[in-house]
Amino acid sequence: MIEVKDITKKFGRKQVLRGVTFTAAKGEITCLIGINGVGKTTILNAIMALTPINSGQILIDGAKINKKSYEKITFIPDAITMLPQMTIGQSMQFMQDFYESWNQERATELLGFFKLKPEEKISSLSKGNTAKVNLLLGLALDVDYLLMDEPFSGIDIFSREQIAEVFTSHLVEDRGVIITTHEINDIEHLIDQVILLDDGIVVKAFNSEEIRENEGKSVVDVMREVYQQ
Ligand SMILES: Nc1ncnc2c1ncn2[C@@H]1O[C@H](COP(=O)(O)OP(=O)(O)OP(=O)(O)O)[C@@H](O)[C@H]1O
């Protein structure tokens, strides 16, 4: 389980996070939602210890993030980090050389799933295919937790559908996923837990299935109630 406990973060004088608390369980998809600049990416960076927090605590399976945690968790950023002149195959090789947790079998399966060709250069890929390669490179690692920043950003509906399909497949399996997205409609049916952020805090956290069954509301209905009041 990932436990985010009362974390605060300031950039200069700007207080971005004012005490954010939530948990994300293994085997569940947790979705962070909020308007631009609310601090979603900052939270993911904080979980990965890529940005220092001012106060609060983050635990991964009960322990503070350390060298060993990086074998358990991976961060898939919203932009690909591979060099444009590399081919997909070379990017995969790079990951294999770099990470012990690289799972070549899963990587090959993902290539087929996304219909990508290893000889294609990163620089020649469409936006949608770049997003798929980015996802492939993260999903192919044998880690327990996956953090995904805006995997649907700026890509066409068919690519979005294909990416959403991955979430229900064994390629994600029983891992814990924290995702940020503005494209809630694409994955509403896949999400377990929703964390609504506003003004540096969690304004509402709920289980999407429970709210659908108990109150007959969609995630978007709840978002309207919270953000448009
Ligand atoms: N390194 C930084 N230095 C200064 N300010 C920063 C830095 N990183 C983020 N911020 C500021 O912190 C706030 C939160 O940024 P963050 O990227 O976490 O928001 P977000 O919710 O992910 O936004 P979006 O939906 O646009 O991706 C923004 O106002 C941003 O300008």
Q: Is 37 in the pocket of ligand 1 (CB under 6 A)?
A: yes
Residues with Cβ within 8 Å of 81's Cβ and at least 6 positions away in sequence, in order, are: none
Q: Is 20 in the pocket of ligand 1 (CB under 6 A)?
A: no
The pairing of beta strand 63-64 with beta strand 176-180: unpaired
User: Which of 17, 38, 53, 197 has most ligand 1 atoms within 8 Å of its beta carbon, as the pocket-test mutant?
Assistant: 38
Copy the structure tokens of residue 160: 């979005």
User: Which of 4, 16, 150, 199 has most ligand 1 atoms within 8 Å of its beta carbon, as the pocket-test mutant?
Assistant: 16
DSSP string, 96-116: HHH-TTB-HHHHHHHHHHTT-
Boundaries of every domain in the chain: 2-227
Going from the Cα of 38 to the center of ligand 1, the distance in angstroms, rounded, reads: 7
Q: Is 154 in the pocket of ligand 1 (CB under 6 A)?
A: no
pLDDT of the residue at 89 = 96
Q: Is 76 in the pocket of ligand 1 (CB under 6 A)?
A: no
Question: Among 201, 169, 182, 225, which Cα is nearest to 31's?
Answer: 182
Q: CA-to-CA distance for 98 and 56, rounded, in angstroms? A: 31
pLDDT of the residue at 151 = 86
pLDDT of the residue at 210 = 94
Which residue type does 70 have? Answer: Y
Q: CA-to-CA distance for 70 and 11, rounded, in angstroms? A: 25
Residues with Cβ within 8 Å of 15's Cβ and at least 6 positions away in sequence, in order, are: 8, 9, 200
Q: Is 17 in the pocket of ligand 1 (CB under 6 A)?
A: no
Q: Is 40 in the pocket of ligand 1 (CB under 6 A)?
A: yes
From the DSSP assignment, how many helices (H) and strands (E) are in the chain?
8, 10
Task: Identify any residues that bridge with 194 across adjacent strands, giving them in sequence order.
Answer: 31, 206
pLDDT of the residue at 38 = 92
> Closest residue (by CA) to atom 24 of ligand 1?
36
> Closest residue (by CA) to atom 9 of ligand 1?
42
User: Which of 4, 8, 10, 11 has most ligand 1 atoms within 8 Å of its beta carbon, as the pocket-test mutant?
Assistant: 11
pLDDT of the residue at 65 = 87
* ipTM of the shown complex: 0.96
Q: Digits of tens for pLDDT over the chain (229 positions)? A: 999 999 999 999 999 999 999 999 999 999 999 988 899 999 999 999 999 999 999 999 999 988 888 889 999 988 888 999 999 999 999 999 989 899 999 999 999 989 999 999 999 998 889 989 999 999 999 999 999 998 888 788 888 888 888 888 888 878 999 999 888 888 888 899 999 999 999 999 999 999 999 999 999 999 999 988 7
**C-alpha torsion sign, points 162, 164, 166, 169:** negative
User: Which of 42, 48, 227 has most ligand 1 atoms within 8 Å of its beta carbon, as the pocket-test mutant?
Assistant: 42
Going from the Cα of 43 to the center of ligand 1, the distance in angstroms, rounded, reads: 10
Q: For domain 2-227, is the CATH number 3.60.70.12?
A: no
